[in-house]
Every structure is written in structure tokens, then in C-alpha cells.
Structure 1
Amino acid sequence: MRLGASPVLRGVDLTVRRGEVVALLGANGSGKSTLVRTLVGVLPPSAGDVRLLGRPLGDGVPWGRVGYVPQRVSAAAGVPSTAEEVVASGLLHGRRLRLPRGWRARVREALDQVGLADRAHRPTHQLSGGQQQRVLIARALVRRPEVLVLDEPVAGVDRPSQEAFAATMTRLVGDGMTVLVVLHELGELAPLVQRCVVLRHGRVVHDGAPPHPRPGHEDSDHEHVHPHAHSRTLQRAEDVRLADGPFEARLDARDDSAEDEGAR
């Protein structure tokens, strides 16, 4: 995989099996985000093959069965969206440009899964950074995915939000969801992670049991917050657009009776 003339990923051979919880670890610049963005079709691979849910990457992938949580998105100008509107945008993918029948119930269910049902009508810019990240997780969960891919979901969020996220993931993993999550450290997710893949300079240098944390990082009072994490706010549903691809969505939250809900 290349970005411009520079190779970012080299010889990565990775298989995530159904029901596995795999953590992708590595220092900043190791290629973690590039790898997951390639896996979900946001970036095109420059070489090699990618298969998702048994299908070659492309239009043949059943994208409605895949949930993706990007790194914290940046703010943008405009009228702020509510948490409900942002989560609803997760139901739009591929050729689907209108919300399915029954979307409000699906959105409430997803927000309840992340403990934010009571914030459904709150503008997202009024939520804390951790709550905004949980809204993005709900946006992925509203699809009721079989596979969940998360890119540094707890970077820069406070401990209560980390704990709430870990509780949500515990329930999802208990239901058999397949998870690939990019992390700097295992933190609150350590009990769930079955396997760790460590990248260094774009290459896999470890694939197996979780490595031991560095001294001090396993302490209960250690905050897993890193210098690159930022606190920009999510304001509009459009702010979660990920460039052309299966996870770009346009929102028309006022249409409650459009397509049949079963067409995912």
C-alpha cells in the first residue's frame, strides 16, 4: 500500500476470523489507520488482495453488515446535527440515499447500546468528546453489523467514557460480533482482546497473544491519552463523511417511510 510515492504497508498478511476480537497496535505512523481504511474501502489498495465477509473488496461486499468507526472527526461550520441525526446517517450506504422505514427505532436502539438514549435530541457539539465518540460508535452499530472496525475509539477520551465503551464492547462481543480495533494500548479492552497484531514501519512484527504493557501503563490510574489525540467537535452528520466509498452518507432525517427496512 502506497500513499503518494512512499510505501506505507509492506507484505501485510492478515486474516480475522468470525467472532474474533483482534487489536491492531503500533506507534504513530506504523500504518494502522492506513490498513483499516484500506480494509473498509476508504483507501484503494495499490497491490495485493483484500476480502471482506468472503467477498473481494468492492461493490460485491455486503456493506450493510460492516460497521466502521473512524478516528475522531473534525468540526465543520453549519447548523449542528443532533445525536439522532448523526446515528441515522449510518443507515445510508452505497445506493441507499433515503432512510429506511422504522429508522427512529433503530437509532434509539443504537444510542441505548452506548448509553446515550437520553441524548438523542442533543446537538452533538454540546456533548463531551467521549460522548461524541460514542455517537460515532452508535452510528456504526445502527447497521446491526456482523463485523465492527474501529480506529482508535478511545483516543483522547476520559476514563468514564473508556469504561462505558468497554461495557458496550463486552455486550457486543458476547453476542458474537467480529471486531478489529486500532489501539495504542489495550487499556479497558484488555479482557476482551484475544489476539494482537503489531505493526512497525508498515510491517507485521507480532501476531499472537497480547504483549505485556510497558511499566506503568497497566496501572489503574494511567490515562490512555496520547499527544496526537484532539478535542475537535462533531457538529453535523456530514462531518462523518469518509470520502467516496461505502461509508459516505447523505442524510434526509425527515423521511420516515422511504425504503423497506429489510433491504440492507
Structure 2
Amino acid sequence: MSTAPAEPARADTPVIQVEGLGVALGGQQILSGIDVAVGPGEVVALLGANGSGKSTLVRALLGIVPVDSGTVRLFGQPLGAGVPWKRVGYVPQRLPAATGVPANAIEVVTSGLLTGRRLRPPRDARARAQAALEQVGMADKARRPVHELSGGQQQRVLIARALVRSPDLLVLDEPTSGIDIPTQQTFVDTVQRLHADGATVLVILHELGPFAPLIQRALVLRHGRLVHDGAPPHARDEHAEPGHDHTHPHADPETPGAGPTITIEVTP
């Protein structure tokens, strides 16, 4: 008896669907009762004070941390092998410390084409990685070891690593935190192009900043609960949030390695 293949997601199926989500880590409840749906083509900001659970929520959505209760679906599929992970691009705030031989920029970007099912890059991987580096203004640094790059340059490599998949869903964790203004604008321009092509974007921010013209909707977390889902807050309200961390741009450090450390990592 044959098993019928799963039906493709309908055009109106939420890209992200969360119902009753709870996450407990180390015996502490981090998230409780999160219900949210993000539709195709939306650009959504996830806001909240430090410790509100923003990064934990994103990591739960991507299956990086275990879900204690509730459900998560991406592109209509429950978390797991059924999710089309090649359609998801993720830009973490930073990556864990590298071990072994240092990777250069194009190797890190190429690793974005690897998944749990694909452990070898496709034949056109180098060309695609070079094109992604071009999008973020880093084509001339393709052969440079990432530990020799400045913080802003490392951040550009991270976003290129997500872009190389041509994702339909792009998730960014505080991409502008402590990064120079030119790099911030590179992120915004890149997201704008992706959105124009129909991509869905979820971005964690402390404040809307240069992303403000793109943000259509804001989700605000407080103490692990969703307290706002709607129009983005005005700047004055955002700064007035209890516990708000005023994260503003700084000059891109000239000292190599001043930013987040990068290592090659296979994503889901």
C-alpha cells in the first residue's frame, strides 16, 4: 500500500505558525503561551527588553532549543525533517568559537548550503557563495580568513551565509547590534531586496533604527509572554520600555577579530 505524498502548502498558509508555545531551560520558564502567525511576505520585528525571551523564541522556531509545550510549524510543516530547511536563512547574533583550521569567508558562506540531508555542497556552491558575498560588499574578501576580518565584515559574512540559500524565510537575531552604520544599511538594503522578491522576514531588534521603513508589524515580548502584536511602536515608546538596552551603532573596529567569531556550522 503506497503512502500519498504530503500536500504542498497553500499560498495563504502561514510561514510561521506558533500555538501555545512554552520553553523551559535549566528549570526556568523562559516562554509561556506564545501564539503567533506570520504570513508570506511579511516583515516582522521582534522587540523586547534584554531577558524578555526574544532569542529563545527564535531558536525555538528553528528547532535549536527544545519546545516544552505547544506547537511550531514552518511552511505548514511541524518542526522536523518535513520542514523545507533549504528555504530558511538564519543570521545569528554571533556564532560559537571556532575550532580547528580557520575558515575563510567563502568557505563560511558555502557552509550555508549544507543541511542535515546535504553534507556536501552542490557543484555551483562556490559561484553562489561568491554572488552572496557580492550582495553584501564582501566579494574582495572571499579568501580572507574570517578571524582577520573586522566585526562589521564578519557580520556581512554571516548574512551572506544566509543569503546563499536564496531563502523564502530570513530570520535575523539583532543584526545591527554594535555594528557600524554602513553595515547596518547593507543589511537593510539586502532585506529590502529579499522582501521585494517575496521573502518573509523576522528580525530581532532592540530598536527599529534603520529597519523602521521596512517593518510592517511588531511583536513585543515581556517576561516571556507576547504583550503586543500589531503596528510598530513609536521610537519614544520603544526607548521607554522598561529595561530597554540602548544599542546604537559604533565605528567598525579596525582591529581584526573584534566582532563575533565565526565557525562553519551545518544548519537544520
| Residue from 88, 102, 110 that aligns with 1:88 | 110
Q: TM-score, normalised by structure 1?
A: 0.83
Letter of the structure 1 residue corresponding to residue 261 of structure 2: L
| Cα separation, 2, equivalents of 1:118 and 1:81 | 16
More strand by share: 2
Which is worse superposed, 193-202 or 77-86? 77-86
Q: TM-score, normalised by structure 2?
A: 0.82
| Cα separation, 1, equivalents of 2:262 and 2:67 | 31
**Aligned equivalent of 2:160:** 138
- Quote the RMSD (CA, aligned, Å): 2.1
**Aligned equivalent of 1:121:** 143
Deviations 1:149-173 (A, max 9, x none): 1111111111111111111111111
**Aligned equivalent of 1:36:** 58
**Aligned equivalent of 2:232:** 210
| Cα separation, 2, equivalents of 1:27 and 1:210 | 15
Letter of the structure 2 residue corresponding to residue 81 of structure 1: A
Letter of the structure 2 residue corresponding to residue 127 of structure 1: L
Deviations 1:182-230 (A, max 9, x none): 010111111001000000000111111110113897xxxx96259xxx9
Map 1:160-171 onto structure 2 (within 5 A): 160-171=182-193
Unpaired segments ≥5 residues, structure 2: 1-22, 240-245, 251-256
Distance change >3 Å, CA 116–CA 195, structure 1 → 2: same
Letter of the structure 1 residue corresponding to residue 187 of structure 2: F
**Aligned equivalent of 1:188:** 210
Distance change >3 Å, CA 77–CA 44, structure 1 → 2: closer
- 8 Å Cα contact 1:197/1:206 also seen in 2: yes
Larger RCO: 1 or 2 (CA < 8 Å, sep 6+): 1
- 8 Å Cα contact 2:30/2:224 also seen in 1: yes
- 8 Å Cα contact 1:78/1:236 also seen in 2: no
| Residue from 166, 169, 176 that aligns with 1:154 | 176
| Cα separation, 2, equivalents of 1:104 and 1:155 | 29
**Aligned equivalent of 2:261:** 234
Unpaired segments ≥5 residues, structure 1: 249-264
| Residue from 81, 85, 105 that aligns with 2:127 | 105
Number of matched residues? 234
- 8 Å Cα contact 2:96/2:263 also seen in 1: no
The alpha-carbon deviation at position 7 of structure 1 amounts to 0.7
